[in-house]
Every structure is written in C-alpha cells, then in structure tokens.
Amino acid sequence: MIKALIWDVDGTLSETEETHRAAFNQAFAEARLDWSWDQETYRRLLQVTGGKERMARFAADREMAIETHAVAEIHKLKTAIYGRMIENGSASLRPGVREVIETARQRGFRNAIATTTSRPNIDALIVSTLGRPADQIFDAIAAGDEVAAKKPAPDVYLLALRRLGLSASDCIAIEDSMPGLAAARAAGLRVLVTPSIYTDGDDFGAADWMISDLTAPLPDPLTTILARA
C-alpha cells in the first residue's frame, strides 16, 4: 500500500535548470571568473550532482586550479542570485505537479522531498509556486546539504524515508534524471520518471514507469491512490 510520494525538485517539480544555469553564469560574471556555461555544457555537467561539485568538475576538465573556499563563495553568491530569480517568477511548476501534490494530500497520502539542491533553493521555489513554506506542504524534506553523499548515492532518499518513518515499499519516488533514478533505486524505491528538458534523451529503462509529465495517464498504483471521485 503506497503511503507517500517522494519528489525530486530540479527538473521534476519545476524546469528550474535553466534558472540555475543563468544564476551560475551571473555569479561567475560578478566574481570576475571567466566561465560561461551554455546549454550543451550544462547538460553534461548535470551528470554531476551538486552545484559546487559541478564547478569543481568544470575546473578539473579545464585543468584549472580553483580553491575550495572560492568554489563555496561563488556558489553562495549563485544561490542568492537564484533565490531572487525564483522570487521574481522565473520558474513555474511542471504540468500536473500541483494537482498530484494537492490530490495526494486531500486523500490522506503524504508528500516528501529528496533532492540534491539546498534548503534555501527548495524554500524559494515552493513559496513562489505553491504560496506557502515548504514544510507546510511536505511532510518531510531531505536536502543535499544534509547528507554525506549526493545522488546517485541513496543517502538523501534514505534520510527522507527516516523522516517519514516509512519503508521504501510504502513510497514512490518521482524523478527526472539518471542520477536521481539510480539514487532512488539504490534506496529500494519504485520510481516514476518524468524526463525534463535536460534529460529527455536519456535511457530510463531502469525506471518502473516513465511518462512525459504528470498530465499524462498515470500508471498504477498512482491511478488508484489519486483516483478522482
């Protein structure tokens, strides 16, 4: 019996990756760092989970030395820029997301978040799109800065399950990326994938279900638990 849905954030709740990319590029410019990530570069970097980790990978690929504290400072600047962009309406929920979250809540099912992104990014997006703080909508929130290893490691999903007090068999994860799929599967979860604009060409054969977005016909058991009267 499914008791909860566990949501990824970037690319799953909202097509936020373009906003992240724009925020990174603005932060690089403000920090006088001669970097600029186009869509092709960012698609490749998304295989690395975590903003600071992407910056480190980009520097390593260019054989460029960058201090850990500099990465942290630039990422802090980027997070502030991203938050302002979200507050100004730069991102909206993907089709069907609001309806599934609200219907699940109305029918007594729980919603949780398990994401690589940081808590400030979560809060900014949820307030902007759903009009309330994240902890008023989601029963548990597990963020990337709270675990030792980010996706594709299962840590953030295991943390979400602990905070829900549920087993993996009680939940379904909703994801959009290969690292996210791998993390959820490693935690023992069944996974529904809704590919995003940056992952729509990836091979999600390991997913239990894949649909274009949450307005498409939902697979069982979601159809049953979210069935409208």
Which positions are annotated as active-site residues? 8, 10
Q: Count of CB atoms within 10 A of residue 19's CB? A: 19
Q: How many CA atoms lie within 13 A of 151 on its CB side?
A: 30
Structure letter (DSSP) for residue 93: B
- Residue 190, phi-psi category: left (phi > 0), alpha (psi -120 to 50), beta (remainder): beta
> What is the 8-class DSSP label of residue 29?
H
Task: Quote the CA–CA distance of 71 and 68 in Å, as a whole number.
Answer: 5
Q: Is 179 left (phi over 0), alpha (psi -120 to 50) or beta?
A: alpha
Give, to the nearest 10 degrees, the angle between helix 68-87 and helix 119-130: 10
| Euclidean distance between CA atoms 227 and 229, whole angstroms | 6
Residue 173, amino acid: A
Within a 10 A sphere around the Cβ of 151, how many other Cβ atoms? 26
